[in-house]
Amino acid sequence: QKEVEQNSGPLSVPEGAIASLNCTYSDRGSQSFFWYRQYSGKSPELIMSIYSNGDKEDGRFTAQLNKASQYVSLLIRDSQPSDSATYLCAGSTGFQKLVFGTGTRLLVSP
């Protein structure tokens, strides 16, 4: 069964620190990966996508992909209390389908 694994957390970081969220996947055929942020009681919101090995930066967010090791990570620089949420990692599994991890809960303390 194709799986995406995430540590459920919570990951606690102080305000201003770098938060590092990790995800591993089992399907070597997965081509694309997505990070979603989900606030409590709300729906997931896409924050990053990555398709190639290496880093992709967007503002305070950096996604990293290592296909050889089958892991994806999300770095959040200068973490803010408003970043406190659950972060879902998703990988493609077949045409136009995604498989989601269970999410990592991030807590940023002031």
Toward another protein, which CB reaches closer, 79 or 86? 86
Contact present, 76 and 19 (Cβ < 8 Å): yes
What is d(CA 45, CA 59) in angstroms, rounded to the nearest whole number?
A: 16
Toward another protein, which CB reaches closer, 58 or 78? 58
Whether the upstream peptide bond of residue 81 has omega within 30° of 0, thus cis, is no
Which residue in 8, 12, 66, 109 binds another protein (CB under 8 A)? 8
Closest approach of another protein to the CB of residue 43, in Å? 4
Contact present, 33 and 90 (Cβ < 8 Å): yes
Amino acid occupying residue 35: W
Contact letters for another protein, residues 58-97 (x by CB under 8 A)? ------------------------------x-x-x--xxx
Give the interface segment with another protein, choosing from 13-21, 28-36, 63-71, 72-80 (CB under 8 A). 28-36
Three-class secondary structure of residue 81 per DSSP? helix
Closest approach of another protein to the CB of residue 79, in Å? 23
Locus of tokens 């990692």: 89
Give 18's DSSP letter. Answer: P
Residues binding another protein (CB under 8 A): 4, 8, 31-32, 34, 42-46, 49, 51, 88, 90, 92, 95-98, 100-103
